[in-house]
Amino acid sequence: MFLRKRAREGNEPSDATTASEPVSQTRALDPIEIPRGDVLETVLLSAGGPVELSTIDVESETIERLREVGIELVIPLIGQGELLGALYLGHRLSDQPYSTDDRRLLGNLASQVAPAMKVAQLVREQQTEAKERERIEQELKVAALIQQTLLPKELPSINGWNVDAFYRPARAVGGDFYDFIELDDHRLGVVIGDVTDKGVPAALVMATSRSMLRAAALQYNSPSEVLAAVNENLVPEIPPAMFVTCLYAIIDTESGEVVFANAGHNLPYVRTSEGVLELRATGMPLGLMPGMAYDERTHMLGAGDVMVLTSDGITEAHSPEGEMYGFSRLMGRVAKKTRDEDICNSLVGDLESWTGPGAEQEDDVTLVVIRRTTSASASADAFHTGEEALIEFTVASVEGNERVAIDKVSEAVGPLGFEGSRLEKLKTAVGETVMNAIEHGNDNNPELDVSIKVAVTPQRVTVRIVDNGGDKEIPDAATPDLEAKIAGEQTPRGWGLFLVEKMVDEVSTARENGHHIVELVMNREGEA
């Protein structure tokens, strides 16, 4: 008696063929498979029970082989309409033909064995799938670890600029990356890229590309030369059918000039006061073929301009109806100003509402947002000769941020030991000046920052507050006519400049390069 299991996918070991006859009469036979679609399969499935080979009047290679090795009776093992295997029986030892009882017994045996075989088969398949899932999960963890290890841990902190980034890997971990490279004291290299493919292979190519970019960025001053050099180095290293899209830009943080080259990556958007524009430069993705040249373009970022770099995980995300997020929606979203101007948050929130709740992220989502808050000329002469810098910071032009400025200045001058009432006066003057800068200088535009610097000499403390309203006159601090205000003949407002003048020892104002500069001076004479 032989038990032959149905042929399976892959190279699983076959079940042992078993002979129940006395040792002297057993023969070791090679397993005989019943190929899918063999006529014997059809015969056995339609019979549903034991079939004598001699009664089959159709021929197949399998039937022929069974006859050759002396098989007389085939008992199919059928589960859920599927042929799971078959028992092959040769001559009876008694040389008698198989009786009706024999066939019934064997049929009953087969009907009990088949379900158990089916269960065993399913368990084995599940175990195999579970092992494969575990292997994939482990691989994804490694890929995610590689990526996250290589992404910047901190964002650049540059006076007059606000840099933000967002990265969220897909479950399958794509090959997105971004990087900031400090080239010198006023030039910042910015990289955003995407490796085709996912998982560990993409992560390894990402790591290689990032290293090559860093090395080339320090060697060449031109973004097009950097991309060309990386391409040459990457072509022999990258696996077949993989490539890297990448945009590389060098930002001059003093002048606002952006020089960039693009190797097939999403175009960056720049939002200005007049709308949103695309920064176009052409070039083939990295790693495809040697000898590539890359366009190099230049753009000037003015105060308040925002540059947004993205990966295709945003533009190629789908709605539940299958519609892509697309470039026009992204462009529209970049154009939309929000009160807190958290563009990363705003874009990611919009993307999530587009893909719908609980949707699995299809690809990595990467965003880099670079905002020029003030021009460098306002901060270049931050401190006069002989002054010691105590603190230098900016606040966005949002009502209420004057309290943030007050707290920071107060904390900075605290150790100088100002007498309590003098400190309170300085705080009030700072609050009023910053409030004026937010409301009048920057027109409550949250894209524009107010720059605040505190400097000290042995004689005095100077708080320098700079906004972008240099095209407007600063009115004189006239003494308000309180009687007229209470009588309703004048607006009750108009106390800010008057208060500032009364609170500090000196106030000076200037307009320079499009900026208002207000200096509040508090003498230290007599202070502890």
Residues in contact with another protein by CB under 8 A are 398-403, 421, 424-425, 428, 431-432, 435, 480, 482, 485-488, 491-496, 498-499, 502
Pick between residue 45 and residue 484 the one whose CB is nearest to another protein.
Answer: 484
**Helices marked H in 414-444:** 420-436
Tokens describing residue 136 = 């994939």
Find out whether 365 and 351 touch, Cβ atoms under 8 Å: yes
Pick between residue 80 and residue 421 the one whose CB is nearest to another protein.
Answer: 421
Please report how close the Cβ of residue 336 comes to another protein at its closest, in angstroms. Answer: 22
C-alpha 172/C-alpha 479 separation (Å) is 67
Pick between residue 328 and residue 491 the one whose CB is nearest to another protein.
Answer: 491
Pick between residue 258 and residue 426 the one whose CB is nearest to another protein.
Answer: 426
C-alpha 117/C-alpha 109 separation (Å) is 12
113-to-5, 85, 97, 108, 445 alpha-carbon distances in Å: 12, 10, 24, 9, 78
Please report how close the Cβ of residue 503 comes to another protein at its closest, in angstroms. Answer: 8
C-alpha 430/C-alpha 434 separation (Å) is 6
The three state secondary structure string of 366-379 is EEEEEEECCCCHHH
Q: 401 in helix, strand or coil?
A: helix
Side by side, the strands of the sheet bearing 449-456 are 388-396, 449-456, 460-467, 515-523, 506-512
Pick between residue 94 and residue 491 the one whose CB is nearest to another protein.
Answer: 491
C-alpha 207/C-alpha 217 separation (Å) is 15
C-alpha 296/C-alpha 306 separation (Å) is 20
How many other CB atoms sit within 10 Å of the CB of residue 238? 22
Please report how close the Cβ of residue 401 comes to another protein at its closest, in angstroms. Answer: 8
Single-letter amino acid code for the residue at 2:
F
Please report how close the Cβ of residue 425 comes to another protein at its closest, in angstroms. Answer: 7
Pick between residue 303 and residue 438 the one whose CB is nearest to another protein.
Answer: 438
Pick between residue 190 and residue 426 the one whose CB is nearest to another protein.
Answer: 426
C-alpha 319/C-alpha 406 separation (Å) is 46
Please report how close the Cβ of residue 420 comes to another protein at its closest, in angstroms. Answer: 8
Please report how close the Cβ of residue 424 comes to another protein at its closest, in angstroms. Answer: 4
Pick between residue 4 and residue 422 the one whose CB is nearest to another protein.
Answer: 422
Please report how close the Cβ of residue 404 comes to another protein at its closest, in angstroms. Answer: 9
Please report how close the Cβ of residue 435 comes to another protein at its closest, in angstroms. Answer: 7
Q: Dihedral through CA 222, CA 223, CA 229, CA 230, nearest 10?
A: 150
Pick between residue 470 and residue 496 the one whose CB is nearest to another protein.
Answer: 496
How many Cα atoms are found within 13 Å in the side-chain-facing hemisphere of 6? 23
Please report how close the Cβ of residue 191 comes to another protein at its closest, in angstroms. Answer: 35
Q: 476 in helix, strand or coil?
A: coil
